[in-house]
């Protein structure tokens, strides 16, 4: 792990994952899915439905990147994932309902500690950016719900691959206009930190779920519980 004083000295921009790092995806989608599933008469647990949805989406996005036959939009991958989980659960649905559920991702709110920490980091002189697997229009629609103006909001559509493909981080580096060594990539997902670190960025792992980072040569440079600890380490 990098010493905090070196991170403070050399970091010029923090690059954040959005879904699950800045916005609370699991709880937010669970709150949205709960009344929907109840109305459908499904007696399972809504948070498990959301977990299956997110895992299926992740699997399909990785398949899309590895097949390397053109980038499929995040929204389309989401429609496939929700349809699959509905089928798995034996729930009758319309395509309009699938589209509605996926569109709710655009309305998710930040974790409670995020906005205060972002303001502290901005006052300290850091540039702040988003690099997300979301589509450009989804990220644009999410801006008023997040309530913070990032210096850059970058979709992986610009690179043509989902994270953790190296081209996504390379594209962010180019668009931000700073060398990768000046970028601290911040995510709640180990795979995303590993991708950024393997490209040459420093990384901070937001360990909200209290899970081990895992055995990898691309260890995070900073591990914190939340955004408050992130700001405390860097300001």
Q: What is the pLDDT of residue 36?
A: 97
DSSP state of 188: S
In the chain, domain spans: 4-24+108-234, 25-107
* pTM metric for this prediction: 0.95
Fold designation for 25-107: DNA polymerase; domain 1 (1.10.150)
- pLDDT at residue number 3: 82
Q: What is the mean pLDDT of each run of 10 residues along the chain (235 residues)?
A: 85 98 98 97 96 98 96 98 97 97 98 98 98 98 98 98 98 98 97 98 96 94 97 96
At 200 the pLDDT is 97
Backbone phi and psi for residue 127, each to the nearest 5 degrees, phi listed first: -85, 150
Q: What number of other Cβ atoms are within 10 A of residue 225's Cβ?
A: 13
Q: What is the DSSP string of 53-88?
A: HHHHHHHHHHHHHHHTS-PPPHHHHHHHHHHHHHHH
> pLDDT, tens digit, for every residue of 86-136?
999 999 999 999 999 999 999 999 999 999 999 999 999 999 999 999 999
The reply to whether CATH 3.40.50.1000 applies to domain 4-24+108-234 is: yes
Nearest partner of 192 among 78, 22, 30, judged by Cα: 22
The token duo for 75 is 């929204």
Same topology for domains 4-24+108-234 and 25-107, yes or no? no
The chain-wide mean pLDDT, for the chain, equals 97
Identify the pLDDT of residue 52. 98
């Amino acid at each position: 792990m990098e010493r905090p004083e070196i991170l403070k000295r050399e970091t010029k921009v923090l690059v954040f994952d959005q879904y699950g790092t800045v916005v609370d995806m699991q709880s937010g989608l669970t709150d949205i899915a709960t009344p929907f599933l109840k109305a459908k008469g499904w007696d399972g647990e809504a948070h498990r439905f959301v977990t299956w949805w997110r895992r299926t989406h992740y699997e399909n996005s990785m398949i899309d990147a590895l097949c390397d036959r053109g980038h499929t939009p995040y929204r389309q991958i989401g429609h496939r994932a929700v349809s699959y989980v509905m089928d798995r659960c034996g729930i009758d649905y319309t395509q309009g309902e699938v589209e509605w559920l996926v569109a709710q991702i655009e309305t998710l709110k930040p974790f409670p500690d995020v906005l205060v920490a972002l303001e502290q980091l901005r006052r300290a002189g850091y540039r702040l950016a988003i690099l997300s697997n979301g589509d450009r229009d989804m990220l644009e629609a999410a801006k008023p719900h997040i309530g913070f103006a990032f210096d850059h909001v970058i979709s992986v559509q610009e690179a043509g691959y989902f994270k953790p493909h190296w081209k996504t981080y390379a594209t962010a580096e180019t668009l931000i206009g700073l060398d990768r060594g000046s970028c601290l990539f911040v995510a709640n997902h180990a795979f995303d930190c590993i991708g950024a670190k393997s490209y040459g960025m420093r990384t901070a792992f937001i360990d909200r779920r209290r899970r081990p980072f895992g055995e990898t040569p691309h260890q995070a440079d900073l591990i914190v519980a939340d955004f408050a600890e992130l700001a405390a380490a860097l300001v």
